[in-house]
Amino acid sequence: MEETFGVIGTGTPGITRDPRIPQQRGAPLPDTAVRYAEERHWDVVPGTWLEAANGAEWCSCGDTGCRAPGAHPARPDWAAQATGSAAVVRRMWAKQPRASILLPTGRTFEALDVSEAAGCLALARMERMEVPLGPIASTPSGRMLFFVLPGAAVKVPQLVRKLGWLPSTLDLVARGEGDYVAAPPTRVGTHGSVQWARQPTVANRWLPEVEELISPLAYACAREAATARRR
């Protein structure tokens, strides 16, 4: 039976803000966190959550200027607390069912983080080239996260240079060891929820190497940078 994580639209893949694509309706956060651990064998850890006060929602961390309200680690030892045990995950979210779902990177996967505009352009090229793809997440801040095998963060700078660009000139971040990504259906303040542009399924259980995705992603980021310079 194929795994599914929420409802995905039928519009152009990767363009999650297209009005033709309905918002995903995921399972409750605790159930989804368990499924990530149980079905994908991903380590997960609960993060902060949103608290209602004075007619607004604030991050549980208490910082009124929080840059990722409800979607960042709740404690400094979060990496050590992350687990792939479904039983432990159930106990964690039983304590705080509203906690966001964070996935540590650098373990079973890493993530190539680009702007949504560059990500959509790269995704279109990848599909034409029939590049194998893993899950792809879209954040309410306008970023796309391409899941790849571990080791990407170390390789990306050299790979980008080989393609003829300086890593510092491209808006392409490899999230590896010591980092994390917020997983769907985590809400980020009032901006919206993290969603799957390409949801995890049996078909994409085996993640691609960074070398398979870097060329179209770097090209799309370089094109976006060139457009920004001309403005």
Residue 98 pLDDT greater than 90, yes or no: yes
- How far is residue 160's CA from residue 156's CA, in Å, rounded to a whole number? 6
pLDDT at 13 over 60: no
C-alpha–C-alpha distance, residues 192 and 184, integer Å:
11
Could you tell me the two tokens for 154? 């170390």
- Integer Cα distance of 44 and 83 in angstroms: 6
Question: What integer is the mean pLDDT of 61-71?
Answer: 95
Interatomic CA distance for residues 70 and 212, integer angstroms: 33
Is the pLDDT assigned to residue 57 strictly greater than 70?
A: yes
pLDDT of residue 25: 54
14 pLDDT above the threshold of 50: no
Q: Give the tokens for residue 173.
A: 């971040």
Lowest mean pLDDT among 6-20, 154-168, 179-193: 6-20
Closest to 141 measured CA to CA, from 11, 43, 16 = 16
CA distance 106 to 155: 13
pLDDT of residue 54: 81
Which residue ranges make up each domain of the chain? 29-230
The pLDDT tens digits for 148-176 are 999 999 999 999 999 999 999 999 999 99
Q: How many residues does the chain have?
A: 231
Structure-token pair, residue 191: 């901006």
Among candidate residues 105, 183, 217, 180, the one with its CA nearest the CA of residue 150: 105
Q: What angle do CA 110, 114, 119 make, to 5 degrees?
A: 105
pLDDT confidence bin for 26, thresholds 50/70/90: low
